[in-house]
Amino acid sequence: MSFERWSLLLAIPALAIFGAVSWLMLLQKPLEVDVRELGELPLVVPPWRGTAIQMDSGVEEILDADFNLQRVYVHPLGDLVWLYVGYYGTERGGRPEHTPWQCYPSAGWEIVRHDVIEAVNLPGLPAIEANELLVEKSPDRRLVIFWYQSARSSGMLGGFDQTLDRFVSRIRLGRADGSLVRLSTPIERGEGEATARARLRSFAKEIVPLLESHWPREARADDLRDEVWLATRE
């Protein structure tokens, strides 16, 4: 049997399964998002101490997320790390469209270099890969790492892995949410990129477990309202 015929025979059941799953998704009631847990992400992440940064309303409108979290964390030695998390629930498509690839150039920053690095490697957990960008806007230089995260997966770099994750998550978990997680730090005068990278990795090691434990919930509207009511009674 020719390769083309085998391909056609394999594609037909795959398309049928995809169509059936898509139809079931359409029949389900919309999911509502409860982002309270993410909003309560600790400001104190020893030895770092954070401060919330108010986001411009125009930027919020462009991002069109269910929830934006933006903070600066300061180390006792004076080092800075900026944290941004943009969360998109299942009904928002679970995928940020305005990413660092667009936001830095639009703000006047030049993307000088892009690499993929291992950002976090914690015992007992899969290593988290991240995109790393070196950006410049004279006289400032910053090192940026970012990845995409969902209720099921972390360390996604974009594109196909996000699409596959949303499809599998909808089947296995009944949801297909997602987020952009971005960490950035200034490269001070006389400081090398390796020092800035070590700083980002050190902070990421602390914040990643907290992000996972403070992940937003999604549920049908009636179920979510019942849970919120019960929580207020406790």
pLDDT in tens, the chain (234 residues): 544 454 445 545 544 454 444 434 444 567 788 999 999 999 999 999 999 999 998 889 989 999 999 999 999 999 999 999 999 998 888 888 889 999 999 999 999 999 999 998 877 777 889 999 999 999 999 999 999 999 888 888 988 888 888 888 888 888 889 999 999 999 998 899 999 999 999 999 999 999 999 999 988 765 555 554 444 445
Is 6 inside a domain boundary? no
Residue 15 within any structural domain of the chain: no
Q: Residue 20 domain-assigned?
A: no
pTM of the model: 0.82
Structural domain containing residue 99:
30-233
Q: Is residue 14 part of a domain?
A: no
Cβ-contact 67, 33 below 8 angstroms:
yes
- State the alpha helices, DSSP H only, in 35-111: 36-39, 57-63, 100-106
Plot region of 50 (φ>0 → left; ψ -120 to 50 → alpha; else → beta): beta
The angle at the Cα of 37, spanning 166 to 205, to the nearest 5 degrees, equals 75
Tens digit of each residue's pLDDT (9 = 90 or more) over 88-132:
998 888 888 889 999 999 999 999 999 999 998 877 777 889 999
* Any domain includes 10: no
Query: Residue 183's pLDDT is what?
Result: 98
Phi/psi of residue 233, nearest 5 degrees: -85, -15
Residue 9 lies in a domain: no
| Total domain count, the chain | 1
Q: Are 65 and 99 in contact (CB under 8 A)?
A: no
Q: Residue 154 forms beta bridges with which residues? A: none
